[in-house]
Amino acid sequence: MEVERVAPEGPDVAPVEEEPLFTNLDIFLFSLIVGLLVYWFLSRKKSEETIPEFKRLTPVVTPQRETSFIEKMKKTNRNMVVFYGSQTGTAEEFCGRLAKDAQRYGMRGMSADPEEYDMSELPRLAEIDNSLAVFCMATYGEGDPTDNAQDFYDWMQENGEDLKGVNFAVFGLGNKTYEHFNAMGKYTDKRLEELGGKRIYDLGMGDDDGNLEEDFVSWKEQFWPAVCEHFGVEATGDDTSIRQYELVVPTDINMNKVYTGEMGRLKSFETQKPPFDAKNPYLATVAVNRQLNQAGDRHLMHLELDISGSKIRYDSGDHVAVYPVNDVSIVNRIGQILDADLDTVISLNNLDEESNKKHPFPCPTTYRTALTHYLDITNPPRTNVLFELAQYATDPKDQDTLLSLSLSRNILAVLEDMPSLHPTIDHLCELLPRLQARYYSIASSGKVYPTMVSICAVVVEFQTSTGRTFKGVATNWLKNKVVVTDNGHKATVPMYVRKSQFRLPFKASNPVVMIGPGTGIAPFMGFLQERGWMKEQGKDVGETILYFGCRRRNEDFLYQQELEEFEKAGVLTQLNVAFSRDQEGKVYVQHLLKKNKEHLWKLIHTDNAHIYICGDARNMARDVQNTFYDIAEEVGGLTHTQAVAYIKKLMTKGRYSLDVWS
């Protein structure tokens, strides 16, 4: 209702207009709001009528790997578990053989990687009647556990759980040329007993400097009777071959799903994804491949692998692992002798469906790929392989030779020398061990060359007792890696970096004494590059001394030009080179150490010097260590016992480091 207001009349008074109750703007906004409400109501009604019904989706849950070996043993009715600590595959192979043999001795075994299971469940093994845990433990580096046994080692050290009722046995794999021979096997055996476990057979110790296979077989022959006696079981006496894998030849083949040399993920070499490790190596291009020696009957080489864009980081002293490829001519010859089509696509599937190891190598693949990339066809087969092959020999003499276990030739030589031996190629592929990565001390510094990894190596080639030429798989393969191939492609090498404890001192001012004859100079090239870099940064760099050894100055003085430049620049304080064959009497690095004994003792005893030794473990490293004992006695006035304790203390403090091989 509109109300009109009238002003009083008068000549001097104008009428006053009052504002309406709702302005035009109010009306507009009101109309807009009403319109929006109507639109929302109608559209909501329409959408409710048109919403389709969706079926409720059940979320997909990826099954997790069983981490309880106890539950797995119960589920599969096993009473024996064999754990392995393995760096190169030998301990894993021994472990598999023990698990496989178990059924011949009244036990039901399974092999297990301690990295894949919860080892804190070990006390629960007592829940399983007549149960047994066996440990095949390799020692790596300077008395260290292998990578896959590190967590188990930490558990043993840190936990005091009661292992009462747990039966165990240990076989250690080591090398007597190393300071800490079989340290991991000894520690595992001792610690399990300390925790209350019951040892059912003595610690076995294999020596790779002697005959590791014979040591294992000898231990195994006594171990099984001890098992039978302890558990009151009897051997079946059945020595027939037991297959672990069955051959499957797929009929419908999708070649995109066939492995062609990858270590883990299918097509990983085509689509590279970091991080790069043992199961996912990086395909590095070869940027440099040059011969280092000027003369002589050997081939020493320097390679540089380009790791640009890989996100791989490394420090001086680290190792580079390289996956080699077998000689194509050997692969073809094996296929020819066995009358096999090497391009047949196959899969070897584990007969034990509960096993975590589904195949002996990546499958499906071809026989050619398996023999080229995955299997060791160069080293002499182990006794278990020869034993299994003997059943295929039709000539009794060949059978006897195979069973005599005294062969020292590779599988091709075995097949060539025994015409009556015709194993099936699938069984041979099952029996042969995996081709392992080869490790080299990196010959460069990651701080100076972050996108390049250098390798220094000598090509292995020699005549065998049977008159054949033995060629090292990796070094001969690397030797032939030309930077650019005939078709214009760059040569590549599958690799990854493994960290090391071989490190320069934290304080650059600490003196360093480096001893590395032959290719043992490799890590010291990285050390020198890094010390030079530190010097350029203006850091106070201590004395840097190198003892290098080779045969002749004009033959194999490796990196001569680079070393002399380091010396000229003041990075290398002292360069001492022993040329063993340039004079009548042989001169080695230990002789030069002895000559400088007073200065060396001052560096070690007074100036806090760090000592580094790289190269041959069997002779050189031992002779050098004995020389340091002599220096401690002759200059330091210590007794021999005190000298030995002194050097051991340096090792404990990280001031006496070894990177050696045999």
Any known ligand binding at 155? no
Cα distance between residue 146 and residue 140, in whole Å? 5
Reduced 3-state DSSP string for 437-503: CEEEEECCCCCCCCCEEEEEEECCEEECCCCCEEECHHHHHHHCCCCECCCCCECEEEEEEECCCCC
Any known ligand binding at 581? yes
Any known ligand binding at 439? yes
Active site residue 661: yes
Any known ligand binding at 181? yes
The radius of gyration of the chain's CA atoms, rounded to the nearest angstrom, is: 35
- Which of 441, 444, 454, 657 is catalytic? The answer is 441
Any known ligand binding at 542? no
Any known ligand binding at 208? yes
93, two tokens:
């192979």
Longest dimension (CA), the chain: 149
Any known ligand binding at 586? yes
Q: Exposed, middle or buried: residue 295 (CB in 10 Å: 0-12, 13-18, 19+)?
A: exposed
- Which of 113, 614, 616, 657 is catalytic? The answer is 614
Active site residue 297: no
Strands 469-471, 438-441: parallel, antiparallel or unpaired by DSSP?
A: unpaired
Within 13 Å and on the Cβ side, how many CA atoms surround 422?
Answer: 9
Residues making up the chain, counted from first to last: 662
Any known ligand binding at 217? no
Any known ligand binding at 661? yes
Nearest C-alpha neighbor of 496 from the set 659, 310, 326: 310
Nearest C-alpha neighbor of 656 from the set 556, 529, 515: 515
Any known ligand binding at 441? yes
Q: Exposed, middle or buried: residue 641 (CB in 10 Å: 0-12, 13-18, 19+)?
A: exposed
- What phi and psi, each to the nearest 5 degrees, are found at residue 437? -65, 150
Any known ligand binding at 580? yes
Any known ligand binding at 89? yes
Please provide the distance, in angstroms rounded to a whole number, between the alpha carbons at the two ends of the chain. 112
Cα distance between residue 515 and residue 548, in whole Å? 6
Q: Which amino acid is at 317?
A: G
Any known ligand binding at 472? yes
Any known ligand binding at 438? yes
Q: Given strand 452-458, what is the order of strands in its sheet? A: 438-441, 319-322, 492-498, 282-291, 300-306, 452-458
Cα distance between residue 294 and residue 558, in whole Å? 9
- Which of 118, 228, 306, 661 is catalytic? The answer is 661
Any known ligand binding at 50? no
Any known ligand binding at 374? no
Any known ligand binding at 173? yes
Any known ligand binding at 458? yes
Active site residue 614: yes
Cα distance between residue 162 and residue 512, in whole Å? 46
Any known ligand binding at 248? no
Cα distance between residue 288 and residue 476, in whole Å? 16
Active site residue 429: no
Any known ligand binding at 106? no
Nearest C-alpha neighbor of 138 from the set 108, 104, 113: 113
Any known ligand binding at 588? yes
Any known ligand binding at 601? no
Any known ligand binding at 587? yes
Cα distance between residue 84 and residue 87, in whole Å? 10
Any known ligand binding at 320? no
Residues in binding site = 86-91, 138-141, 173-182, 208, 298, 438-441, 456-458, 472-475, 519, 580-581, 586-590, 623, 661
Catalytic residues: 441, 614, 659, 661
Residues in binding site for NADP(+) = 298, 519, 580-581, 586-590, 623
Residues in binding site for FAD = 438-441, 456-458, 472-475, 661
Residues in binding site for FMN = 86-91, 138-141, 173-182, 208
